[in-house]
Structure 1
Amino acid sequence: MNDVLPFATALIIVAGVGLAAVLSHRFVERFPIPASALFLIGAAVASDIWTPLTEVPILQVERVVTIALVVILFDGGMQLGWRRVRANAGAILWLGATGTLLTALAVAASAHLLFGLDWRIALLLATALSPTDPAVVFSVLGRRQIGGRSGVLLQGESGANDPVGIALLVVLLSTSQFTGAAAVSVAWSFTTQLVIGAAIGVLGGLGLLWLMRSILLPAAGLYSVRVLMCVFAIYALTTIAHGSGFLAVLVAGVVVGDQRAPYKVEIERFHSALANLAEIVAFVMLGLTIQITGPHGITGGNALGIGLCLAALLAIVIRPLLVAVLLWRTDLTRGERLFICWTGLKGAVPILLGVFILQAGVPDAARAYDIIFVVVAFSVIVQGGTVTALARRLSIPLESVNPRPWGMNARFEEEPNSLHRFTIAPGATADGSTVNDLPSDDLWVSVLIRHGRLVTVTADTVLHAGDEILVLAEPESVTDVAKLFGRTAG
């Protein structure tokens, strides 16, 4: 019983942080600062003020952030889906894989030549700083989403380069000398991790999809929990097999993303909410490991100056050059290219990789960790704070996503293959047409939603671009029916 009051105190602190995480999304709608930046800096300041917070074991931080990253990557994979990945696979791979490696080399050379860091710590530092985190971008936008290919490329890049950066750092940490033989060993181990991760991710995703469709559970809430447990199992099995567990859960999410399954909407909502919370938890835990003031803090050494210089180089020189080279053959507009150049934001993954460097006991690891923190803080505050204004300046389409707390719900024992939902695209055949004039006898418009409101459907109802409709049509004719509306919503 003596532990009741300390436990209650700790619980109310956790509840307060969790509530702040949920409410932070309303804050970012008014102020263009990512909520993750506030929690990262806030946790670092709190640990300076109240020293017991710094007593959290670094190993525990690593484990918590690893679990959070698994959740975030799987949710990111589900949001992407195979259709979007397939349509932009070349650009995503160039940015996510090749871009990560080239960024690591460019930053390593800069850290060594400009600041005299040893080649090994410079390369480890550069590898940690190479992954991006567009989830920070989307948190800044609040209820707005990036339209067009820009959003797909940014999200796909972050999903691809996180596993690539992590796998590369893990392999580099196992190598103490950089010789020709060591380089071959690093390349082999790195490739092996990615291949094993991708293979298990595909198999795990297909197995998870079969499980979601085939085995019924007694309660709706259990479906989301089952998927989460399977995701952790995919990560663990891949890691045991010496593959990239992070890549495996991302690929599994992509495999599952576009497919229909019982309670799929509920599963997606559960994992999306969990990923948002996981991102905040990761930044809080990582912030507690940083000391800002004092002789061993960021301001007490030269980590602040080095970090700011590297952050500026990454944002203004290195990333724009790489994006210009890697995406020069794509049909992106000038505005989209500039937007992708600036929005290569750093997030929780670089700091997690910094924790790996600390755990490995590499010489000068503490200074490298402080530099990583400075770069991430600069990225999320300076770059993240200008994302919305830059998108408007470059005419990047921002699609408003208004909350819809009310819904209609109908449950079926069998999959409703004849029920389809569409969003009418501008210029589609249905745009401006009445329901009675639709050139097809094999459909029935049952529900029409316009500007978030339900509209009564009659034969004379005129359809407009942006309308969401529920249509009854036989599965064999759904392809022809979809052409009338221009694009499918789900």
Structure 2
Amino acid sequence: MTIGELNWTVLGTAALVLVAVAAVRLSTRAGLPTLLLYLGLGLLIGEAGLGLDFDDAAVTQAAGLFLLAVILAEGGLTTRWETVRPVLGLATVLATGGVVVSVAVTAAVAHLALGVDLRTAVLLGAVVSSTDAAAVFSVLRRLPVRARTRAALEAESGLNDPLVVILVTVVVSPSWEEAEPLLLAGQVLYQLVVGAALGLVVARAGGWVLRRSALPSAGLYPIATLAIALLAFAVAGVAGASSFLAVYVAGLWLGNAELPHRTATIGFTEALAWLAQISLFVLLGLLASPSRLPEALVPALVVGGGLLLVARPLSVLVSATPFRVPWREQVFVSWAGLRGAVPIVLTTIPLSVGLEAATQVFDVVFLLVVVFTLLQAPTLPWLARRLGVVEDAAPSDVDVDSAPLEGLGADLVQFRVPRGSRLNGVTVQELRLPGDTVVSLVVREGRSVVPGPATPLRTGDDLLLVVREADRDAVTRRLRAVSRGGRLAGWRRPDDEPAAP
């Protein structure tokens, strides 16, 4: 590549990213996932638009799986364990048993209504039965939906990818007709259990090292944290386990482990996740051929209709009823099962191995994602209000950031008093912080104050604490307890004290 070609490539890439960033505002106003606009950008610069010819399914598959790993890592890092823990059982059943029900029903609809062979029908059912983390995160985090409902949907979208990846891999393999159900079930169990275990082991080991390292630059901590999550992805893949589950579990643990410079890490991974979404959806749009899409419209409507109106509601009913989830929440969870990048990326697997019906499956799934995202996403706010699953915005929890002080056996801890927090009005001595913790500085309205024991805290204050390394977790728990329960937290009721990560 010459210098001139490099300049034009950088110019085009930078312009594309800036247009994609500007498109976020448009999609937010319209209540649509940004994936639709990014897919449109891919089509615009593809063979039917600016003429960029791209049809490498193998490259798209490899890049797509890696970019999905980045998105899942960010989803885990930004998810609070105390929110997910109460719904983990429900989310797990939705991501396993619910997926099996959805695959079976969707495959039956495709086989009976479209007349496709059983292999193609099962492939269609498996590909579209996984909800998409990027689409779910981008839509639900803008809606004031009940924390339990939102957490169940987000956890499901992070956990259901491994099963469908396994199913798609088996369907496209030469041994499809000889596959034994018990052997397949054992393979699924191995991938899920070992993938989750490896993700947890890698995250805990990496977190242990990070907590005891004083790196020369704060910017190295976010890079190291994301690298640990992606290391879990790779280790699980080498072990033949579920890479997607490993990276999500690793991100979930790291995001709740109070690692150094957590705030900077979250900002860094969110930025990379946005870049991953832009790259992924533009790449998938490039792979699509607009000239083939019209003939795939009717099959997409049939398969999507069966999925949305029959398969998804039935899978939610079977999965959620044992957990006594009210019917209103079941209806919302059913309608909010958005599809996005994951189904389209999965269609590149049969494309890369040259399966006979692969092109038809890709076109049907591509249109299904576009059409049904346009139908579901804009109606979610209205449906949430009608079903009564919205709630008033809760006060923000205390977001504690820390950095190790090399050689002192201590950490520098920083946090801000959030709006609605019961820390407002509490004096420094009433915090009753563990050990020899020192509140060294309070920044209020741009002015720095060295606080005394009787100095009251105010909403918006930034506090700087010096904490012994051994007391850091206890200090974090105490700050969050006082934020929720006030100065008497821990005396009035024990559940003011949240569990350790």
Q: Which residues of 2 match residues 72-221 of structure 1 at below 5 A? A: 72-140=71-139, 146-179=145-178, 182-221=180-219
Provide Cα deviations, 1:146-173, integer angstroms capped at 9, x if missing partner. Answer: 4411111111000000122112222332
Q: Which one is further off, 5-14 or 362-371?
A: 5-14
- Taking a change above 3 Å as real, the CA distance of residues 200 and 171 of structure 1, as seen in their structure-2 partners, is farther
Distance 2:347 2:394 in 1: 36
- Residues 73, 249 of structure 1: 8 Å contact kept: yes
**Residues 393, 454 of structure 1: alpha-carbon distance in 2 compared, 3 angstrom cutoff:** farther
Q: CA deviation at 1:234?
A: 2.6
> Is the deviation greater in 255-264 or in 408-417?
408-417
Q: Does 1:53 align with 2:44?
A: no
Task: Supply the distance in 1 between the matched residues of 2:309 and 2:395 (Cα, whole angstroms).
Answer: 31
Q: Deviations over 1:27-80 (max 9, x none)?
A: 223222221111113322442424742335222212221111110111112222
**Do structure 1's residue 397 and structure 2's residue 397 form an aligned pair?**
no
Report the equivalent of 2:487. none
Aligned to 2:491: none
* Alpha carbons 2:262, 2:401 under 8 Å: kept: no
Contact residue 33 and residue 139 of structure 2 kept, 8 A = yes
User: Aligned equivalents of 1:175 and 1:183: distance in 2?
Assistant: 16
Q: Which digits, 9 at most, give the CA deviation of each residue in 1:334-385, with x for residues without a partner?
A: 4433221111000111001100011122221111111111111123221112
Q: Provide closer, same or farther for how the CA distance between residues 153 and 43 of structure 1 changes in structure 2, counting only shifts above 3 A.
A: same
> Does structure 1 retain, via aligned residues, the 8 Å contact 2:202–2:231?
no
User: Residues 367 and 320 from structure 1, CA distance in 2 versus in 1: closer, same or farther, beyond 3 angstroms?
Assistant: same
Deviation at 1:175, TM superposition (A): 4.7
Task: Give 1:435's aligned residue.
Answer: 426
Cα drift, residue 317 of structure 1: 2.3
CA distance in 2: counterparts of 1:415 and 1:463, whole angstroms: 30
Per-residue deviation at 1:440?
6.9
1:316 matched to 2:324? The reply is: no
Q: Give the match for residue 325 of structure 1.
A: 318
Are 1:383 and 2:381 an aligned pair?
Answer: no
Matched, 1:341 2:334: yes
- The whole-number CA distance in structure 1 between the counterparts of 2:144 and 2:21 is 19
The amino acid across from 2:151 in the alignment is V
- Cα distance between partner residues in 1 of 2:376 and 2:154: 17
Residue type of the partner of 2:91? I
Q: Choose the corresponding residue for 2:246, options 245, 248, 266.
A: 248
* Contact 2:48 2:290 (C-alpha < 8 Å) held by counterparts: no
Q: Which runs of 5+ in 2 are unaligned?
A: 485-495
Are residues 1:40 and 2:39 paired?
yes
- Equivalent-residue separation in structure 2 for 1:156 and 1:187 (angstroms): 22
CA shift digits 1:430-457 (9 cap, x unpaired): 48x853699776699999999x999999
- Mean alpha-carbon deviation: is it higher for 326-335 or for 474-483? 474-483
Instruction: Tell me the TM-score normalised to structure 2 length.
Output: 0.82
Return the alpha-carbon distance in structure 2 between the equivalents of residues 416 and 328 of structure 1: 49
d(CA) in 1 for partners of 2:277, 2:352: 22
- Relative to structure 2, which stretch is displaced further, 54-63 or 438-447? 438-447
Residue 133 of structure 1, CA deviation: 1.6
Q: 1:189 to 1:393 in 2, by over 3 A?
A: same
2:370 maps to amino acid: A
Percent identical: 30
Which of 262, 265, 272 does residue 263 from structure 2 map onto?
Answer: 265
Q: Which amino acid aligns with 1:324?
A: L
Change (3 A) 1:170 1:412: same
Distance 2:225 2:431 in 1: 39
Partner residue, 2:233? 235
State how far apart, in whole Å, the 2-side matches of 1:171 and 1:454 are. 63
Counterpart residue number, 1:298: 293
Q: In the alignment, is the contact (CA less than 8 A) between 1:200 and 1:234 conserved in 2? A: yes
My pick for the range that moved more, 234-243 or 284-293, is 234-243
| Pairwise CA distance, 1:18 | 1.0
For residues 271-312 of structure 1, give each alpha carbon's deviation from its aligned partner in whole angstroms, at most 9, with x where no partner exists: 11111221121111011111122xxx011x3x2101112212
Aligned residues: 473
Q: Find the counterpart in structure 1 of residue 490 from structure 2.
A: none
Q: Secondary structure at the match of 2:290?
A: coil
Q: Retained in 1: the 8 A contact 2:260–2:401? A: no
Counting only pairs closer than 5 Å after superposition, residues 390-469 of structure 1 correspond to structure 2 as 390-395=383-388, 396-397=390-391, 399=393, 412-413=405-406, 430=422, 434-435=425-426
Q: What secondary structure, in the 3-state scheme, does the structure 2 residue paired with 1:217 have?
A: coil
Q: SS at 1:30's partner residue? A: helix
Change in CA separation of 1:95 and 1:4 when aligned onto 2, cut-off 3 Å = same
8 A contact 1:434–1:460 mirrored in 2: no
Provide the TM-score with structure 1 as the length reference: 0.83
1:205 is displaced (CA, Å) by 1.1
Counterpart of 1:258 in structure 2: which amino acid? N
Larger deviation, residues 341-350 vs 303-312: 303-312
Cα deviation code 1:218-261 (max 9, x no counterpart): 22222222333333333222222211111111111122121122
CA shift at 1:116, angstroms? 0.9
* Residues in 1 aligned to 2:67 and 2:392: alpha-carbon distance in whole angstroms: 28
- Structure 2 letter corresponding to 1:98: G
2:275 matches 1:277: yes
Residue number among 365, 370, 373 corresponding to 1:372 in the alignment = 365
Q: Which amino acid aligns with 1:397?
A: E
What SS class does the counterpart of residue 10 from structure 2 fall into? helix
Instruction: Tell me the secondary structure at the aligned position of residue 318 of structure 2.
Output: helix
Shift in CA distance, 360/220, structure 1 to aligned 2, threshold 3 Å: same
Moved more, 33-42 or 440-449: 440-449
Matched residues in 1 for 2:447 and 2:144: separation?
A: 24
CA positional deviation for 1:206:
1.3
Distance 1:262 1:158 in 2: 28
Residues of 1 paired with 2:17 and 2:478: CA distance?
47
Query: Which segment is superposed worse, 99-108 or 151-160?
Result: 99-108
1:28 aligns with 2:22: no
Larger deviation, residues 362-371 vs 472-481: 472-481
Contact 2:402 2:413 in 1 (8 A): no
1:332 and 1:470 mapped to 2: Cα distance?
41
Give the structure 2 partner of residue 11 of structure 1: 10
CA drift of 1:135 comes to: 2.9
